[in-house]
Chain A
Amino acid sequence: SQTIHQWPATLVQPVGSPLSLECTVEGTSNPNLYWYRQAAGRGLQLLFYSVGIGQISSEVPQNLSASRPQDRQFILSSKKLLLSDSGFYLCAWSWSGPSGNTIYFGEGSWLTVV
C-alpha cells in the first residue's frame, strides 16, 4: 500500500529564517505530488504541483519554492520567511495515470512564523 510522510510536524521559525518541509511517498512510482497551504478559515490553497522529477508548477506567486530531487520526494522551501507564511502545510500525492485524480494527503506540518 501507499503511504505519505511529511516532516516536521510542527515548526516555529523567526521572520527572515529559511524553511524546508520534506515529503516522501512510498509504495508507488512516478506519482503526481502537491503542496497545499491551509490558513485559518480559508480552505485549501494549492501552492505547487509536480508531475515528475525536476518539473514544478507554481500556482501562486509568493515567497516559497518547491523542488523534486527524487521521484517520490517533494520539498517546500523558503529563503526568508514572512509572518504571512504561517499556516498548515499539506503534502499530497495522486496516481499519474489518466484516471488518477484522487488526491491523498499527508498529516500536515504546522508552521508558525514569529
Chain B
Amino acid sequence: AQSVTQPDIHITVSEGASLELRCNYSYGATPYLFWYVQSPGQGLQLLLKYFSGDTLVQGIKGFEAEFKRSQSSFNLRKPSVHWSDAAEYFCAVGGRGGSYIPTFGRGTSLIVHP
C-alpha cells in the first residue's frame, strides 16, 4: 500500500528566506507525486506534479520539487518565500492507472514572519 510522510507539522521562515518542505513516500513502483497548497478556509490547489521524465518539476507560484528515487522523497522548494505563501501544504502519492486514488500526507503548515 502507498503512504506519504510529511515529517514537519509546522515550518516557520522569514519572508525572503528559502523554503524546503519534506515529503517521503512509500510505493512499490514509480509513483505519481503531487504537491497541493491550501489557504485557510479554501480548497486545495495543485502546485505541481511528477509523472515521469525530468525529476525536477516546476510548478506555479515559483515552487519546484525534486523527485529522488533513491531517497523516496519529493521535497518542495522555493528560493524566496513571500508572506502570501503562508498556508498548509500537502504532498500526495498515487499509483499508475485511473483506479489508484492518491494518498495524502498530513500536511505541513507554513508560517511566514515579516
Contacts and interface: CB of A to CB of B under 8 A. Distances in A.
Interface string A42-63: 1110100101000000000000
B98 A105 contact: no
Nearest to A88: B41
Nearest to A32: B98
In this complex, the interface size class of chain A, counting residues with CB under 8 Å from chain B, is 20 to 34
Nearest to B34: A102
A103 B101 CA distance: 9
B105 A101 contact: no
Nearest to B106: A43
Contacts of A103: 34, 92, 101-102
Contact of A99 (B42, B96, B102): B96
A90 B88 CA distance: 15
B63 interface: no
A114 to B, nearest CB: 19
A34 interface: yes
A87 interface: no
Contacts of A106: 43
A27 interface: no
Interface in B76-112: 90, 92, 94-102, 104-107
